[in-house]
Amino acid sequence: MNLDSSVVGLSGEVFIFDVEFRHIHQFADAIGDANPLYTDKEYAKNSKYGSIIAPPTFSVAFSGEGAELPINLDERRMLHGEQEFIYYRPIQLGDRLYCQRKISDLYEKEGKSGKMQFLVVDTEIKDEGGQMVAVNRMNIIYRGEKS
């Protein structure tokens, strides 16, 4: 295993994502969700949100963009473990989002084929005022090197 606790706390540069109608509409279409909150501007305007909002898993579509983490991982050893979305408010049409990836945890578990490391990567998503909008948390399983 070549990852150690020194990777916890590493972060990439902040990147900006401007939420446009086509982004939300295309994402809702791709996941097969016809909720009018995602596509009907008049309907959404009269909702408690006051405008179009994005589906709950929308942030996965842009959290892979932007600055990379300052860590060299062997992609052949990586598996997507789990995904979690922590929302403080819905993402809305017109939001300018400031996003930054951070390594928030690293731990090990014994698997059938040996030790595996679990790398927890958070993409923090804030609005223009610096308020937290959401955290997109991804758990990467980092398998041991084959002998």
CATH number at residue 118: 3.10.129.10
Question: Side-chain half-sphere of 76: how many Cα atoms within 13 Å?
Answer: 2
Could you list the residue range(s) of the whole structural domain that residue 118 is in? 5-19+58-143
- Which residues is 106 bridged to in the sheet? 119
pTM of the predicted protein model: 0.87
Give the separation between CA 65 and CA 58, rounded to whole angstroms: 13
Number of domains composing the chain: 1
- Which residues is 125 bridged to in the sheet? 99, 134
**Has residue 40 been placed in a domain?**
no
Give the separation between CA 21 and CA 35, rounded to whole angstroms: 14
**Has residue 78 been placed in a domain?**
yes
Residue whose C-alpha is closest to residue 90's, from 118, 124, 54: 54
**Has residue 49 been placed in a domain?**
no
**Has residue 24 been placed in a domain?**
no
For the chain, list residues with pLDDT below 50: none
DSSP string spanning 27-74?
HHHHTT---HHHH-HHHHHTSTTSS-B--TTGGGGTTTSSPPPS----
Q: What is the pLDDT of residue 147?
A: 54
**Has residue 26 been placed in a domain?**
no
Please give the structure tokens belonging to residue 28.
Answer: 């809702």
Helices (H) and strands (E) in the chain, counts: 3, 5
Q: What is the pLDDT of residue 82?
A: 92
**Has residue 29 been placed in a domain?**
no
Give the separation between CA 132 and CA 123, rounded to whole angstroms: 11
Please, which contacts does 28-36 make with residues 24 or more away whose CB atoms are closer than 8 Å? 28/55, 31/55, 31/57
